[in-house]
Every structure is written in C-alpha cells, then in structure tokens.
Amino acid sequence: MEIISSQKGFRYISEPFQLKNYLVQKYLQINCWNDLYMRTNDDVIIQYLKNIESNHLTFKNPIPGSRFWRPYTYQTVFKVINGCEDRLDYIVNTLNGHTIILLRHPIAVSVSRKVLPRLNAYVKSDYADFFTEKQIHFAHQIISKGSYLAKAVLSWCFQASVPLRNINDNVHVLTYEQMVLEPDKVIYYLNNWLGLKEISKLRRQFNVPSRTANLSFEKSSKYIKNQDVQTIVRKWSDKVDKNQERNLLKILDVFEIDAYRQGEFTSSKYWLYPFAKKV
C-alpha cells in the first residue's frame, strides 16, 4: 500500500503475483492463474516472497530516484491485487507480518474492470474448495450467462470472501470509502496499530489518488483538490439503476458477504470508529 510505503525505512513491492509480468512468471516459476491457486505450490510461493524480502530477488524493487525508492529499508510492504487471497494467514505467519485488506464497494470496482483474468481460476483450481457446491454452481451460471458487470461483481466476491473470513490481530480491514471521507480517522488507526509516526507523509499520501481507482487519475486529483470527496465515493451510482444495484448485490448474499448494502455507499460493518483524535 502506497500510504504505508510513504514511511521511512519501508520498501514498496507492487504486484508480486501479477502474471502478466514475464519476470514474475520466471522467478515465481508459475505462468497461469490456475497453478497459482494450487496448494502444491505453497512452498514455491513462500520461497519466492522470502527471496524478494531478503533482496535476493531485486526485480520488483523501486527504481532509484523514484517515488518509493529508499536508500535504506528494514521492512517490506507487498501490495497484492492479484492472487493468493487464500494464503494470507500462511504468508503472514511465515513472514511474521501484518495484513491490511482494503475493500471498496463491489460495483464501484466492477464498473471500471476491463478484464477478469482470475475468474475461471477461482472455480477451476483448488481455490474452489473454499466454497460450497451451491456457490460454485451459482458462479458457473453467472460465468456462462451473466452480464459482464455481474461477472465482475462475482470476481470481487471470490477475491474478498476468503480473506474476510480470517480477521484477527494481524489482519485488519480498511475501506476505500473511509480513506476518502475520513482520512484523519484512518491515519489515527494506522498510527496506533502499526506505529507509523510520520503523520505529515501519511496525510500527503491520502491526497494522492490511486491509479487503480474507478475515476481517471486526473478527475480524482481534481475532486480531491476541490474537496469533492463525495463525488469520488458515489460516482459509480451513475452507471447502474436501482434494479441493477439490487441484483448485483444479491451476488454478495450468495457468498455471505455483508460488507455493503443496497442504497449505501459505505460499509458500516468495516467502518472504523476510533476516537477521532486530530493528529
């Protein structure tokens, strides 16, 4: 996560499992999503991450002089968007780390998705073992007959479902919406949980939009600059009507994910409610 990587001594590693990158395929020794989710590759994946953490593999390191390059680092932040949702506990325990799960409204995510590279792997690999026969059958129906937007929400459900079952002292959930609407509360939380001390750098990073956000980078920058944060959070609602929203969120019900509800732009379940101390 870029926010944490703003701190002194943190090395930022982006997308270590992005199989579109031929160097990831080369050093991970895995070249398709199905294989990434096979349990027989657990040890291969852990060794790969250890090699990156120990700097034996440097191809993912920030380029010297770039935004997240640091001359000296003592902790590593892995930003994982693609893959290994089912191995978070195993990875955290093996590497003695922490996990932050960043959620965003599934429709907000889905309206901007151009490709769904892991959707078939979710139902055809060992990852399917985490789901009931009914859920997998439902997924096959959407994959074969559903709209692209329904398939994108389905992919979101697969990606979020397993990690959200394993929340503990080392695994915490933040929501994109609260980071946009109430950055001070999130900064306070990160400061207390992880001991991140460079508050001014955290706050500056909150004013930089993600390049994976639903809005274009330029539009997001404009809205943040103008403090029009509600637009960033609500913009997706222009893309669907109420019936579509209701039907898409029913997919979450099948997977027993109660993170977002119809008519709501934020997640009350995963909203942080610490004392809103100014930092």
pLDDT digits over 175-226, tens only?
A: 999 999 998 888 888 888 888 877 887 888 776 555 444 444 445 444 445 4
What is the band of 99 on the pLDDT scale with cuts at 50, 70, 90? very high
Classify strands 75-79 and 99-103 as parallel, antiparallel or unpaired. unpaired
User: Residue 275's closest CA among 189, 217, 206?
Assistant: 189
What share of the chain has pLDDT > 70, as a percent?
A: 90
User: Would you call 102 helix, strand, or coil by DSSP?
Assistant: strand
CB 82 within 8 A of CB 210: no
Whole-number pLDDT of residue 221: 46
pLDDT: which is higher, 101 or 3: 101
Please list, residue by residue across 153-179, b when 16 or more beta carbons sit within 10 angstroms of its beta carbon and e when fewer do.
Answer: bbbbbbbbbbbbeeeeeebbbbbbbbb
Greatest Cα-to-Cα distance within the chain, rounded to the nearest angstrom: 53
Contacts of 55 (CB under 8 A, 6+ apart): 61
Assess if CATH 1.20.1050 describes domain 2-254. no
Would you state the torsion angle of the CA atoms of residues 36, 38, 44, 49, taken in this order, to the nearest 10 degrees? Answer: 50
Residue 126 per-residue DSSP state: G
**Does residue 148 or residue 206 have the better pLDDT?**
148
Place 83 in a pLDDT band, splitting at 50, 70 and 90. Answer: very high
Question: E strands, 126-235, where?
Answer: 171-175
